[in-house]
Structure 1
C-alpha cells in the first residue's frame, strides 16, 4: 500500500496525516505514552480541529520494546490475537531517564529515546549502552490515511464509506538488508519489494505464499514483529528507499522491536515472544514416501512401493497416504476408500510388522465436502462456518459444496479431534494438514461472533494446526506429535513441521524452495521440508537426483509428486547403475542416516534457541560477514555443516565459504575462506563442507532407519580441531547423554558415553570411501 506518489505528492484518492509533534510525554507503568498532533502546535489555537496519534512504547522483556500507534482509541480491538509469551512472560524492569538528549526508555539491552524538541519528531531505537543505532521513526513516519480522501472531516461521521489505515515507517540504514516474513520464494533480501502478508494458495512461483509471518530480521542486529493477524501491507524500501513501511487497515498498529545483537539472539527472543519450535521425534527425520496426489493406488501399490524402496537400498521410515485414501468428492470425511483399502487398520498393522515402514501419515484438511459422510453431521450440529443469513458457507472451489470447520466453535473442534482419534485407532501416527489458506472474510459469521473475519483469514492456520497437533500430543505424547503442514502464521513453529507447498519440477523451482526454506527459518521455524523432485510435472532424472541431494539435507525429507509417482525407478526406467536415481537416492538416504547423531543433537538446540536446523541461513552463523546476508543458494545444516545444492545438469556449482578452514566431507580437501569457489560434481556428491573446530559424530555404516543408538558403534571425526572443541550427544529420545571434548593432546578427553565398536580420529571419511562407508 503506497500512500504517496513519489516524494512530493500524496497518492491519488488518499488523505494522509502524519504525527508532527511530540506534544506530551507521559510516564506510565513499563513505558511512555506520547501524544502526537498531526501538525505543529505553536499556540493554543493549533490544538483544535486536528487529529492526533498516540504512540505507546513499553518495555516487555529484556531486549524487547513494543510500539503501538493509535488514532481513535474507542475502536474495538476484536480478536483473534496472537498467543504471546506462551511459556510465560519474563519479568522486565522499565527504566526511564531524562537528559539533554531526550527521554529514554530502557528494557534491558534495548532502549528508545524521544527527541527533546517537541517539534522534532524523532524516536530512535538503540542499544542501551548507546553504541549501536538500530532504527528510528523520523518525520512523516507515523501516520493515518483515509481512502477515498474526505473533502471535509464532517464526512467521517459515517465511516462505512471510507477505509482507514495506520502506518509506520522505520528507517533503513545504508546497506541494510531485510529478511524473513515467512516462507517467501522470491529474492532473499526483501529490500525493494512490496509485500502483502495474506495467506494464499499460490504455489512457489508467485508473490503469494502459504506461510505469511509478520516478522522480519534486519542485518543491523534487530527484528520487528507486527502484532496482528490481519492483512499487513509492507513497502520495504519500495515507497521510500530509506524506510520500511508497515500499514494495516484499522485504528491501531502494534509492533515489537527485538534487539540481538546477533541474529541468533534475535530469533531466541522472538521465540520467547511467539513460541519455541516444538520438538520432533527421531523417526520423523527418516525418509518419507507418499503415494503422490492424483495417482492411482491401492494396498498392492503401496506394498510394491515400499518393497521396491527397501530392495533398492532406501528403506522408508514414514509412508504417507495422500488425498485419495478417501473417495473422490468426499474429502475430508476421514473414511478410507473401501474399494481400494478394504482393511485399513489391518494393512497399516501389516506394513509396520513387516518393517516396510515405521510410521504412517495420512492427508487431511479443514474443508468438508458436501458428498462425504462428515458433512451432514457437521452442518446439522453447527460445526461449519456460516454465512450471515445462517446458511452454511459453501463453494465449489476444490471440493464440491465444501464447508469449512468453524475453528472458533469448541464443540466443532472436539468433533474434529474425535475424527482424528478414529484415524489413530487405525494406526495413523502423523497427519499432513494441507490447505487452510483460502479462508473467506466477507459474508461470513463465525460461531464466536466477537472475532474479526479479516483477522481469521491468517489466524486460521494457527488455530487449525494447533487443534491437530494437540490431538496428536494427547494420543502419542508431547514430543511425538508430527504434522506436515502447508499453511502457517506466527506461532505455528510450535506445531512442527512445515513443508514448502506446490513447486514445479525444475531447477528454478528448486531454487525457489531453497529461498522459501531460508526465509521461513529466519521467521522462527525450526524444521522444514520440500517435495523432492518437485510437485508439479515430471522431473527429468537429473532434476530428481539433484533434488534428492538437496532434500536429504533438509531437516525432513519427503518424496512427493502431483500426477506422477516419485519412487526412483519410475523416473529413469529403473536405471540400476551407480548414477541412476535408485542408487543416488540410496546413497543420500544412507548419508542422512549416518548424520543422525549430529542432526538430532542439533535439533534439540533448535528447539531451545529458535534457530532453524536446516535450512539455516548463512547469516545466522556468520553475521559479521556482509556476504552472508545475500547467500540464497546455500545453507548451513546446524552450526557446523555447509551445503550448496546444485542447479545445473552439468554438476557445476559456485558457492561461498566464510572465513576459516573448511573440509570437504567427501574428499577431505581443505579450503580456506573467505572466498568463492567453483566445483563440478556427479550425482553422488555436492559441496558439503565441515567447519573447522568441529567434532562430528556419525552413525555406523550400513545403518538402516533414522532411529538407533546414537552412541553405539559411532565414528567420531575431528575437523581442524583445537583443545576445547566439543559436541553434545543425545539419545534417540532427544535427551542429552553427554559431551565429547577434545583434550590438550588433540584427542578426545573422555569417551565413557560411547558404546560398542566406535572409532575416532582426524577426518575419518576418506575420499576413496566417501560412499562405500555409507
Structure 2
C-alpha cells in the first residue's frame, strides 16, 4: 500500500496519521507499552482531538520480541489466529532498564531501545552487547549488565520518523465522518529501516526475483501458476541478510512495499485496528529459522518411501487400470523404481469431484487393483488427488449440505459457484463435525489401500458475503488461513491411520505454520527452462520461510516438454527433497517423451540414472531430514545464504541450491549443457569426476544429460548406498549396504548413520589421529573410499567439460 506520492505528498485519496513521538512509557509484565500521539505534544492543548497509537513491545523468547500496534483498542480481535508455540513456549526473563539513551527491553540476545530524546519517535532493535562485560559472568548476566549501562550491540533495524501510523481511504474531511466506518478503509502500517546493501528473502513461495527489495508483495493466496506475482503459499515471514527475521502475525491480506516506496524501508500494512509482528534475532539464518520454527512449528518427519520417485497419471490425460498397469510395468522393465504411484483428479467421475468414489467404469475394483500393484512390486505406495471443494453432482454434496458441513453465504444459502466444478461448494473446516466427516471420507480411501494424499487447491477461498460455522471467524482472515485448516485435517487423518511420522501430503496451498504438515509442491509451472528457474526461486523462497521439504512437477505441468528440457528437469527434480513426474494433458513416462529406450542420453536412461542416484543418496538424505525436524532448515531446496551467510554473493544466488549441509547443486537451464555456478570459500569436489575446485569463485562447465554441477563440501563424511542395480527403491538397509566417502575430512567431522525408518543407528566420526570411528553402526558389507566416482561409470560417460 503506497502511502506517499513521492517524498513530499500523501498518495491521492488517502489520509495518513503518523506516530510523531513517544509521549509515555509504561512498564508492563513482559515489556513496555508506549503511548504515541500523532502530533508532537508541546502544550496541553495538543492532546485534544489527537489520535494515538499504542505500541506494546514484549519479550517472547530468547532472541525474539513481539511488537503490537493498536489504534482503537475497542475493536474486536476476530480469528482465526496462527497457532504459536505448538511445541511449547520457552521461558524468558524480560529485562527493562532505563539509561541516558532511553528505555530498553531485552529478551535474551535481542533488545529494543526507545529513545529518551524529547518529542521524538525512534525505536532501535539491536543485539545485546556482551563483549564489554566481565567474561566470568554468565551470558544472561552479562547481557543484563550491558543493558543496565545502556550498551547497545549491532543494530538490526529501526523505527524512525514517520514509520508507524494508520491511514484512511478515502480521506475523511472531518473526524466526525469516522462515526461510520462502513465507507472507509482503515489500515495500520509500519516501516522498518533497511540498511545499505541489505536484502530481503522469503515471504513464501515466490517465483520472482530472489531478493525482494524493490518489489510490492501481497500476501494473499491465489491460484496463479508460477509465472506471476501471485503465490499459492503466502507466508508472512521474511529473512534479512542483516541477520534477523520478521514474522507478521496475521493470516489476513498483508501488503508489503519492500524498498518499493521508501527505498530504505520495508512497509507492512493491514486492514484493521491491530497489527502484531515479531523481530527474530540471528545473527545467522540458521538461528533465525530455528527461532521461527519454535514460534510457528517445526516440519514433521516423513517416511523414507516418500523420498523415492513418484509417478502420476497426469491431469486430463485418458487413463484406466490398464494404462496404470502399463506405465508401472514399463518403468520396471526399464530399470526405474517407482515408490509412489499417484492417481490424479479423474480417478473420480467428471462433475462429481470430490465425492471420494472411484470411477467404476474405469476402475471397477480399486481395492483389488491397488493390492495387485503393490503385490507385484510395481509401486510401494499409492496416492490419490483430493481437494476441499464438493461438486453438487457428487454423492457427497447433498449429505454435506444437509448436515451443515459447507460454507454458507450470509443469507443462509450454501456458497457455490461454477468455477472448477459445476455447483462447487467448500467444506467448512471451522465446523468440528465437518472435519470429522471429511476424515471419515478419507478413511474409506485408506481402506482401499490409499497411503497418501495430494491436497490440491485451497487458494480460492471466498471472503465476501460468506459466514463460517465459527462466528468468531473473520472471512478475510480465513482466506489464507484455510490452507492451514485443510491440510491439518488431512494430515491428522493420515497420522491417525498410519502412525506418527507416517503422514504424507502433497500440498499446494499454505500459510505460516503449514510446514508442520509436509510436504508441499510448487504448483502449475510451464514446460520451459524459464519456468524451471521460476520454480527453483519459489522453492528457495519457501525454504527461507520455514518449510523443510519441497517438490516440483518434473518436466513442467503445462505443455509438453521437449526432450532436452525433460532430461534437465529430471536431474533438477531428483535432487529436490521429493521427486514427482507430473503433467497436465500429456504423460511424463520417459519413453513417450522422446521414443528413445536405447541411447544413454535418452529420456529413459536419464531418468533411470538420476532416480538410481537419488536412491543411492538415501542414507544421507534421511540423516539430513532428521535435522530438518529439529532445526527447521530446508532439506532441499536450501539457499546458499543459509550455509554461507557471510559471503555477500550467497544472498543473490537463485540458480543453485544445497541438498542438506554438504551437497551443492546447480541445475542446467541451457540446451547446450553450459552452466555457470558459484562455489563459496573452501574446497569442493565434483561428485562425478572428483575434480577439486577452490572457492570463492564463479565457474563454467558443459554437461551431458548424465551430470550437472554436483559438488561436495570439504570436511564431509558422505554416507551412500552402494552401487547396485538401478531398479532398487528408496528403502533398503542403509547400514548394511553402504559406502563411506571422505572429502577433505578433519578431526571432529561427523555423520549420522540411519536405518530405513530414519532413526539414528550410530555416528561416524573422524578421530584426532584421522581415523574413522563409529563403524560398528555399519552392520553389513561396506567400504570406505576417498572418491565418489560411480563404480560403473567413467568420467567420459558423464560428459563434463570445464569451460573456465
Structure 1 equivalent of residue 196 of structure 2: 174
- Check whether the contact 2:635–2:660 (CA below 8 A) recurs between aligned residues: yes
- Of the candidates 754, 757, 760, which is equivalent to residue 781 of structure 2? 757
Structure 1 equivalent of residue 135 of structure 2: none
**Secondary structure of residue in 1 paired with 2:627:** helix
- Check whether the contact 2:688–2:788 (CA below 8 A) recurs between aligned residues: no
Report 1:623-662 matches (<5 A): 623-662=645-684
Gaps (5+ residues) in structure 1?
Answer: none
CA distance in 2, matches of 1:449, 1:269: 33
Report 1:20-31 matches (<5 A): 20-31=20-31
CA offsets, 1:544-601, max 9 Å, x none?
A: 0000000000000000000000000010013421000000000000000000000000
What is the Cα deviation at residue 770 of structure 1? 5.5
**Secondary structure of residue in 1 paired with 2:763:** strand
CA distance in 2, matches of 1:750, 1:556: 30
- Check whether the contact 1:370–1:400 (CA below 8 A) recurs between aligned residues: yes
**Secondary structure of residue in 1 paired with 2:457:** coil
**Secondary structure of residue in 1 paired with 2:737:** coil
- Check whether the contact 1:553–1:592 (CA below 8 A) recurs between aligned residues: yes
Deviates more, 1:500-509 or 1:384-393: 384-393
Note closer, same or farther for the CA distance 1:174–1:21 as it changes in structure 2 (3 Å cut).
Answer: same
What is the Cα deviation at residue 535 of structure 1? 0.2
Structure 1 equivalent of residue 142 of structure 2: none
- Check whether the contact 1:747–1:761 (CA below 8 A) recurs between aligned residues: no
- Check whether the contact 1:701–1:773 (CA below 8 A) recurs between aligned residues: no
CA offsets, 1:176-227, max 9 Å, x none?
A: 0000000000000000000000000000000000000000000000000000
**Secondary structure of residue in 2 paired with 1:752:** helix
Report 1:134-149 matches (<5 A): 134-149=156-171
CA offsets, 1:310-335, max 9 Å, x none?
A: 11111100000000000100010000
- Check whether the contact 2:762–2:774 (CA below 8 A) recurs between aligned residues: no
- Check whether the contact 2:723–2:790 (CA below 8 A) recurs between aligned residues: no
CA distance in 2, matches of 1:244, 1:460: 27
CA distance in 1, matches of 2:231, 2:785: 46
CA offsets, 1:686-730, max 9 Å, x none?
A: 000000000001102126111111111211000111122111111
Structure 2 equivalent of residue 747 of structure 1: 771
Asked whether 1:235 is paired with 2:257, we answer yes
- Check whether the contact 2:755–2:761 (CA below 8 A) recurs between aligned residues: yes
Structure 1 equivalent of residue 239 of structure 2: 217
- Of the candidates 463, 487, 504, which is equivalent to residue 526 of structure 2? 504
Deviates more, 1:389-398 or 1:566-575: 566-575
CA distance in 2, matches of 1:768, 1:710: 20
CA distance in 2, matches of 1:522, 1:553: 18
CA distance in 2, matches of 1:716, 1:769: 18
What is the Cα deviation at residue 750 of structure 1? 3.2
Structure 1 equivalent of residue 278 of structure 2: 256
Structure 2 equivalent of residue 63 of structure 1: 63
- Check whether the contact 1:529–1:551 (CA below 8 A) recurs between aligned residues: yes
CA distance in 2, matches of 1:667, 1:772: 9
TM-score calculated relative to the size of structure 2: 0.95
What is the Cα deviation at residue 131 of structure 1? 2.8
Structure 2 equivalent of residue 120 of structure 1: 120
CA distance in 1, matches of 2:466, 2:346: 30
Structure 2 equivalent of residue 495 of structure 1: 517
CA offsets, 1:619-650, max 9 Å, x none?
A: 00000000000000000000000000000010
Report 1:113-512 matches (<5 A): 113-129=113-129, 130-512=152-534
CA offsets, 1:673-698, max 9 Å, x none?
A: 00000000000000000000000011
CA distance in 2, matches of 1:530, 1:174: 35
CA offsets, 1:360-395, max 9 Å, x none?
A: 000000000010110010111111101111111000
Report 1:575-654 matches (<5 A): 575-654=597-676
CA offsets, 1:428-479, max 9 Å, x none?
A: 0000000000000111011112100000000000000000000000000010
Asked whether 1:5 is paired with 2:10, we answer no
Task: Quote the RMSD (CA, aligned, Å).
Answer: 1.2
CA distance in 2, matches of 1:263, 1:745: 33
CA offsets, 1:724-760, max 9 Å, x none?
A: 2111111111211111012244331231111221100
**Secondary structure of residue in 2 paired with 1:200:** coil
- Of the candidates 556, 561, 575, which is equivalent to residue 578 of structure 2? 556
- Check whether the contact 2:312–2:343 (CA below 8 A) recurs between aligned residues: yes
Structure 2 equivalent of residue 41 of structure 1: 41
Note closer, same or farther for the CA distance 1:771–1:601 as it changes in structure 2 (3 Å cut).
Answer: farther
- Check whether the contact 2:687–2:788 (CA below 8 A) recurs between aligned residues: no
Note closer, same or farther for the CA distance 1:761–1:573 as it changes in structure 2 (3 Å cut).
Answer: closer
Q: How many residues align?
A: 774
- Check whether the contact 1:622–1:658 (CA below 8 A) recurs between aligned residues: yes
Structure 2 equivalent of residue 97 of structure 1: 97
What is the Cα deviation at residue 771 of structure 1? 8.9
- Check whether the contact 1:666–1:767 (CA below 8 A) recurs between aligned residues: no
Asked whether 1:74 is paired with 2:80, we answer no
- Of the candidates 725, 734, 738, which is equivalent to residue 749 of structure 2? 725
CA distance in 2, matches of 1:408, 1:303: 40
